[in-house]
Amino acid sequence: MTMKNQLPFLRLGTAVLYFFLLAVLTTPAWGVRVKDIAALRGARDNALIGFGIVVGLDGTGDSQESLLTRKPIV
């Protein structure tokens, strides 16, 4: 074989060698969620409560007699 004929085989061999080295020498990457490894200063669990109060047009919102609306406010 002449040098001209050996060049494609040399390139293929080099590419295979690089691929093998990359596959063997790299460390696996594991997915980790940020919230599992970090904590925000001042962050706490807050319970949110929705009352379903409708505001806007006159006469379309909750009435003053609604127990669900008045009880948490009073």
Domain positions in the chain are 3-28+48-73
Question: How many Å apart are CA 19 and CA 27, to the nearest integer?
Answer: 14
Question: By the 8 A CB rule, do 53 and 47 touch?
Answer: no
Confidence of residue 52 (pLDDT cuts 50, 70, 90): low
pLDDT tens-digit profile of 1-44?
677 788 888 999 999 999 999 888 887 777 888 888 888 777 77
For 55, the token pair is 């505001």
CA distances to 7, 25, 33, 71 from 28, in Å: 33, 10, 16, 56
